[in-house]
Amino acid sequence: MNTKFLLALVFALQVSVSLSQDAAPSQELVDKYEAMKATFYKRLLNAYGKVHGAVSQSDQAQMARELIESLKDKPELQAVVKVASGLGTEAAPIVDRARSSLLGWYEQYLRPHVGDSLSRAIDQIKLYLDQVMPAE
């Protein structure tokens, strides 16, 4: 009975250790992810620029600008901004590790099964986004 218990314990420890080890994603997947992220940010900035240009001439935009200017001088808002920027700085390595872990998990377990169909779907979405919200 002790031998069976010891064998089960060793097996359970081996499984838990193998599940806790994160596989590092390949450089090709990381580069592909970074390229898609950069393109998406360009799309957002371009769309923001277009919206800002269209809205900046209105009276409501002028009122909003004045409100923001009046809020900038308040010490409470400055304290909130400092805390938020500090939290962002502290959380950046955690987010990077989580992103790397998720990319590794995706590459190891999901990419062999859904990689091709996901890539085709992303390409179709890019075609639509190029028409609606271009990166350039």
* pLDDT tens figures, 78-120: 787 788 888 778 878 888 888 888 888 888 888 888 888 988 9
Beta-carbon contacts of 22 under 8 Å, excluding residues fewer than 6 positions away, are 100, 101, 104, 105
How is residue 65 written in tokens? 């600008």
Q: 51-87, pLDDT tens digit by residue?
A: 777 776 777 777 777 777 777 777 777 787 788 888 7
Type of residue found at 57: Q
For the beta carbon of residue 22, count every other beta carbon within 10 angstroms.
15
- Label residue 121 by pLDDT band (50, 70, 90): very high
pLDDT at residue 84, rounded to an integer:
80
Domain extents in the chain:
27-73, 91-135
Cα angle: 94, vertex 97, 102; to 5 degrees: 125
